[in-house]
Amino acid sequence: MFSDQWSNIKPLPGANRLIKHLKVHGIPMALASNSPRMSIESKISYQQGWKDSFSSIIGGNEVSAAKPSPDIFLEAANRLKLEPSNCLVIEDSLPGVAAGKAAGMKVIAVPYLPKQCHLYTSADEVINSLLDLRPEKWGLSPFQDWIEGTLPLEPWHIRGSVVKGFGRGSKMLGIPTANLSTEGHTTLLSEHPSGVYFGWAGLPARGVYKMVMSIGWNPYFNNKEKTIEPWLLHEFDEDFYGKELHLVIVGYIRPEMNFPSLEKLIEKIHGDRRIAEKALELPLYLKYKDDPYLKAIGRPGTGRQGGPKTRPVRHIEDVYRATWKVLDPLS
């Protein structure tokens, strides 16, 4: 049973940050899901502080019709004693977006499958991940944790062999990325949203270097597979295909995006480089240059040296697919 694995469920990146932020600022929240209420409460009981953060929890068994019917959101607004027009829905599914709009609410879509963003046209805003949510756009207090154009993250690690990419980094862009093999990294790629990250890169026997990288499909080129493309911010005399590369990712810069021209893409990538180079001099990020993981030698994989890989449960009704509804104080 999936219930036996709920303790292993990981929330979407940015979910804990968002819930804490809204709670601190006194924004009433309701969680509305098509799952039975008992199931919802069991799932979120493993997420510290979640249950106490929601003023109301509504399950699909408590309303006459599930999403895309607006019933569940209208019931949430009623329990919060708010007008539907004063509510903001954050949803990852098409039925959920349809339900929120039918209820007369503003809706932010965070598509469960990012390559389907074009299907969410009825949403008021579509964002790549919760890391990209800007509460101030909706009359809410802004996050205060962005530093020099970067969002600090709990560091995560990945290592693997450097492989030949699409042959466009150096030739088309003048940017020699060291593409990392995605073999064995299916879970990691599903855990972390596409976007531009930065941190430190270790080449055993060579050194540790500043690094900025993209994870995703590179919309300008419309890749068919999600890739990991780090750019080591150092001039090398030779390539290092086949060498093991160790990465410690410490922060986030921006979501993936498309560009009207190759020149605009190149300009943005160099902007990312400047942001990463400057940020990595800050003590907050500089301290990770000494992470032992960067100099470890071992079998390619994720996680810390010597530690087991953690494989979180993935299921269509997992807690990270929860929906939040909050008051828009501008109304």
Contacts of 281 (CB under 8 A, 6+ apart): none
Element holding 254 (H helix, E strand):
strand 244-254
Strands of the sheet with 87-91, listed across from one edge? 56-58, 29-32, 324-327, 87-91, 106-109, 125-126
Query: What is the maximum alpha-carbon separation in the chain?
Result: 67
How many Cα neighbours within 13 Å face the side chain of 72?
31
195 and 252 Cβ atoms separated by less than 8 Å:
yes
Distance CA 304, CA 160 (A): 13
φ, ψ dihedrals at 284, nearest 5°: -55, -35
SS3 63: coil
Active site residue 41: no
Select from 175, 179, 240 the least CA-distant residue to 207: 240
Q: Kindly name the residue from 191, 229, 256, 267 that is annotated as catalytic.
A: 229
Select from 297, 300, 215, 206 the least CA-distant residue to 249: 215
Active-site positions read: 229
